[in-house]
Amino acid sequence: MINIQKKIKLDQYTTFKIGGEANFFVAISSLEELMESLAWAKKNKQAILFLGGGSNVLINDKGFRGLVIKNEIKGIKKVKETDSSVYLRALSGEWWSALINYTTANNYYGAENLSLIPGTVGAAPMQNIGAYGVELKDIFAELEAVEIKTRKLKKFKLADCQFAYRQSIFKNKLKNKYFIYSVTLKLSKTPKFKLDYGDIKQILESKKIVKPNIREVVNAIIETRSNKLPNVALLPNAGSFWQNPEISGAQFKKLQKKFPDVKFFKTEEGFKIPAAWLIEHCGFKGKIFGSVSAYEKQPLVLVNLGGARAKDVTALAQKIEGAVWKNFGIKLVREINYIK
């Protein structure tokens, strides 16, 4: 039996520590409780908001007029094994960090570059999480999701999810139409580490590690992320606020001519410019605006210095977006999920 609560403050459930009240709130730990919650919302004509780890979300100051369903459906299980691969099925309310701990402890390779990414397993396919040359799609096998309208469980294979850079079908065409219930990953039994991104290789070399094992690689990635990203327990934030914008070859030539030191990554369709570089060159890195700031080590992250409200964060975001457009003619696209 589910326990529907009333007037629950949502700031305690987000890593930004921002958000008004939910009219109704329920925490679920099973598929049955999900179905019961969906039925309750339909019967009482309430809108639905799903919350996982609350790490990629900014909730408005007025809160949410409807039912917030907090996903706490957990579990990790090996479902299939071959000579070279293993398939792990994780339920969507499981912490992503717990899944990485599991793969590391069992020497299952492929997910290590995604270490220390906050949030739950169910959030991972929503935006095709990625870091240091690896994206979820690279290790993805399938997922199960419940259609909100019919409450039926459906399987989605890799092609069905339409993964792209920080994108999926669940963020676009099927947004708010499905609840992701489980994610199955295909991992390797033999290591094929990607160490050429960030400071991973340098950290390993500084420790005189020539042939690293999976734990050493994970530790190096955790150290790399920790050196650049704020600890949410000390500086509440929602992770990267914007995507890295991609521009055409013609745009890039003009940009590079004007800014010879511009950082970039070549892609199949053009050039990706680090949003952090653009923001820093507009003078926002480490700059404080009342209760919010663009983090001093990584301006892609906006931090709550204490007592910030959603309106404070969006005001700073708009200033940054305006400055980047004015100086570079590049539009920043928000990665964060803003609940208006």
Q: What is the mean pLDDT of the chain?
A: 96
Residue 73: name the closest of 87, 49, 52, 103 by CA: 52
Measured distance CA(25)–CA(60) in Å, rounded: 16
What pLDDT is recorded for position 216? 97
Domain map (residue ranges) of the chain: 5-71, 76-228, 237-339
CATH architecture of 5-71: 2-Layer Sandwich (3.30)
Helices (H), the chain: 31-43, 96-105, 158-161, 200-206, 214-228, 249-258, 275-280, 310-328
pLDDT higher than threshold 90 for residue 197: no
Q: 155: pLDDT confidence band, cut at 50, 70 and 90?
A: very high
Beta pairing partners, 144? 155, 182
pLDDT higher than threshold 80 for residue 198: no
Please check whether residue 6 is in contact with residue 44, taking contact to mean a CB–CB distance below 8 angstroms.
Answer: no
pLDDT higher than threshold 90 for residue 164: yes
Beta pairing partners, 247? 271
Sign of CA dihedral 124, 130, 131, 137: positive
What pLDDT is recorded for position 307? 96
Residue 241: name the closest of 339, 128, 336, 127 by CA: 336
Q: Is 144 tagged catalytic?
A: no
Residues 226-275: pLDDT tens digits?
999 999 999 999 999 999 999 999 999 999 999 999 999 888 889 999 99
Is there a common fold for 5-71 and 237-339? no
Residues 80-98: pLDDT tens digits?
999 999 999 999 999 999 9
Residues 41-78: pLDDT tens digits?
999 999 999 999 999 999 999 999 999 999 999 999 99
The residue annotated as part of the active site, out of 33, 94, 135, 335, is: 335
What pLDDT is recorded for position 157? 98
Measured distance CA(308)–CA(294) in Å, rounded: 13
Residue 121 identity: V
Q: What is the pTM of this model?
A: 0.93
CATH architecture of 237-339: Alpha-Beta Complex (3.90)
What pLDDT is recorded for position 123? 96
Q: Which of 212-216, 262-266, 290-294, 306-310 has the lowest mean pLDDT?
A: 262-266
Q: Is 215 tagged catalytic?
A: no
The residue annotated as part of the active site, out of 55, 135, 166, 225, is: 166
Residue range 76-228, CATH number = 3.30.465.10
Q: Is 335 tagged catalytic?
A: yes
What pLDDT is recorded for position 1? 85
What pLDDT is recorded for position 269? 84
The residue annotated as part of the active site, out of 55, 115, 182, 240, is: 240
Query: Residue 12, exposed/middle/buried by CB under 10 A (0-12, 13-18, 19+)?
Result: exposed
Query: Residue 264, exposed/middle/buried by CB under 10 A (0-12, 13-18, 19+)?
Result: middle
Residues 17-42: pLDDT tens digits?
999 999 999 999 999 999 999 999 99
